Amino acid sequence: MSSTPHPSTPSAGPVEPDIYHDADAPTTSPSEYRRVAMATMIGTTIEWYDFFIYANVAALLFGKLFFSGLGEWRDLAAFATLGVAFFFRPAGALTMGWVGDRFGRRVVLVLTLGLMGVATTLVGLLPTADQIGIAAPILLIVLRCLQGFSAGGEWGGAAMLAVEHAPHGQRGKFGAYPQIGVPLGMLLATTFLTVLTMALGKEQFDAWGWRIPFLFSVVLIVIGWWIRRRVAESPVFEELKEIKDVATVKQGDLLHHNFKDIVIAAASFMANNAFGYMLVGGFILGYASKNGLPRSEVLMWALASAALWAVTTMACAMLSDRIGRTLTYKIGYVLMLVGMFPTFWLVHAGVERGEVLLVGLALLWIAIPEGFTYGPQSAMFAEMFPARIRLSAVSLSYAIGAVFGGAFAPMIAEYITIQLGGVVNVAWYLSAVTVISLVSIFFIKDRTNKPLHTMSGH
């Protein structure tokens, strides 16, 4: 069988995706498929549970607990802590991307899960500003940055392990397992917060009950660590080891030779992340509850939205296996644009009329275009980059897209609402970001279901 030569040095010029047409994906047993799907989904669910617990409690309480001296700007400061962490995502992506391309995808999953768990647990033990003064917000920001570093490395490891194990023609479906870990993590986090809020009442929850979901992270981390240690390494990475082509491209060369594709991939993610953070970043939850709507009822609608998002993510990932990644994305971003102003009008009307149902409908709508533009992401990103630098490239693309997309989206939305006096104005900002992401999709070559692995060694 003939094989296409594989570039062995960075000096050979831009690294093109290793697309071959005379072989299927590496063989994996059905039991291993199930194990990989479970490991990537459950581990990512736990990781993002930690992330969303922080986002939701920050929206509800951290302004009062850690930034009380800032007056009316305290909630804006709390949202800013969400954004600060995103600047550490590229560092996590580069570091863990190098680890994953050099030592394997699986080791990244274990390292990032442990780091996220430690940071989240320590947030639950932090004294407030009333107890230790300015040290409290400083320590909070440090722990949030550790979360950002971990999140920057985690997604790429889980997504590439799933995609590189996928059977032929099902790359979108298998790549969706770590993707649905995000809405499932939100589902778990929101469920926990809803139950605690209803069981303890607002006063006790605000006083000490908010710490419980952070501390519970210890239990989840142990479960996730055990599951992830049992999964086999990616067959694509194993093949790279066999042909001694592991991590032949340095990070500087990665940026030099693949910069254009990384920028395009990052841009394709920006709107999904920014619009999604209206839900997962706690902006709509915080806005509605601060303006008189019952917190527990809004949380229930957020719960329903997270469940719908999980369903649409898997459905649209499977759809992308049939109609292509880029077409699925285009549909999603058009839907996002069409529904942007109605979404925020519903939030405004719900608060003005005291009708939680209207806010709930807005939250449910977010889950639909989010599914179209998140479900196919793992597969599309994997298909954009060659195997030997794939984890570094996709992790960095994801991290950069998150920095310019969701990093400060809740804070920007809060600022726009304060300065312009209406939440509907947030739609202008998000529509502009959506246009950027939609345009970027037209620059991505659709390589749906083309082989990912190298031919060397076959």
Buried b (16+ CB within 10 A) or exposed e, 17-30: bbeeeeeebbebee
- The yes-or-no verdict on residue 318 having pLDDT over 80 is yes
Yes or no: say if 160 and 100 are a contact pair by the CB < 8 Å rule. yes
Residue 396 sits at the vertex; the CA angle it makes with 340 and 167, to the nearest 5 degrees, is: 85
Range of the domain at 251: 27-441
- The yes-or-no verdict on residue 351 having pLDDT over 90 is yes
Token pair 């970001």: residue = 433
Give the burial class of 261: count Cβ atoms within 10 A of its Cβ; 0-12 exposed, 13-18 middle, 19 or more buried: buried
- The yes-or-no verdict on residue 349 having pLDDT over 70 is yes
pTM, to two decimals: 0.80
Most confident of 24-38, 210-224, 259-273, 294-308: 259-273
Please, which pLDDT band fits residue 453 given cuts at 50, 70 and 90? low
Section 379-401 average pLDDT:
88
Q: What is the pLDDT of residue 265?
A: 97
In a domain, 11, yes or no: no
In a domain, 318, yes or no: yes
Please state, as a whole number, how many other Cβ atoms lie within 10 Å of the Cβ of residue 3.
13
Most confident of 10-19, 104-113, 172-181, 276-285: 172-181
Section 448-456 average pLDDT:
62
| C-alpha 294: how far from chain center | 28
- The yes-or-no verdict on residue 27 having pLDDT over 60 is no
Q: What is the pLDDT of residue 33?
A: 74
Looking up residue 421, the CATH number of its domain turns out to be: 1.20.1250.20
The values of phi and psi at residue 43, to 5°, are: -60, -45
Percent of the chain with pLDDT over 90: 37
Please state, as a whole number, how many other Cβ atoms lie within 10 Å of the Cβ of residue 67.
21
Token pair 């996928």: residue = 166
Please, which pLDDT band fits residue 275 given cuts at 50, 70 and 90? very high
Q: What is the pLDDT of residue 18?
A: 40
In a domain, 7, yes or no: no
Task: Dump pLDDT digits (tens) for 239-263.
Answer: 666 655 554 555 566 666 788 999 9
More confident call, 24 vs 427: 427
Percent of the chain with pLDDT over 70: 86
Of 50-54, 294-298, 300-304, the range with the lowest mean pLDDT is: 50-54
- The yes-or-no verdict on residue 206 having pLDDT over 90 is no
- The yes-or-no verdict on residue 24 having pLDDT over 70 is no
Q: What is the pLDDT of residue 236?
A: 65
Q: What is the pLDDT of residue 250?
A: 56
Q: What is the pLDDT of residue 263?
A: 95
Of 10-24, 139-153, 193-207, 393-407, the range with the lowest mean pLDDT is: 10-24
Q: How many domains does the chain have?
A: 1
Assigned token pair, 356: 């939680």
Q: What is the pLDDT of residue 25?
A: 47
In a domain, 249, yes or no: yes
Residue 366 sits at the vertex; the CA angle it makes with 364 and 367, to the nearest 5 degrees, is: 70
Q: What is the pLDDT of residue 17?
A: 40
Cα separation, 177 vs 310, whole angstroms: 10
- The yes-or-no verdict on residue 437 having pLDDT over 70 is yes
In a domain, 76, yes or no: yes
Yes or no: say if 386 and 96 are a contact pair by the CB < 8 Å rule. no
Residue 84 sits at the vertex; the CA angle it makes with 81 and 90, to the nearest 5 degrees, is: 145
In a domain, 333, yes or no: yes
Residue among 298, 296, 420 at smallest CA distance from 361: 298
Of 232-241, 276-285, 358-367, 404-413, the range with the lowest mean pLDDT is: 232-241
Contacts for 61-67: CB closer than 8 Å, 24+ residues apart: 61/206, 61/210, 62/140, 64/206, 65/128, 65/129, 65/130, 65/136, 66/128, 66/129, 66/136, 66/137, 66/140, 67/129, 67/137
Tell me the average pLDDT of the chain: 83
Task: Dump pLDDT digits (tens) for 139-186.
Answer: 999 998 888 888 888 888 888 888 888 888 889 999 999 999 888 888
In a domain, 56, yes or no: yes
Section 40-59 average pLDDT:
80
Give the burial class of 377: count Cβ atoms within 10 A of its Cβ; 0-12 exposed, 13-18 middle, 19 or more buried: buried
In a domain, 72, yes or no: yes
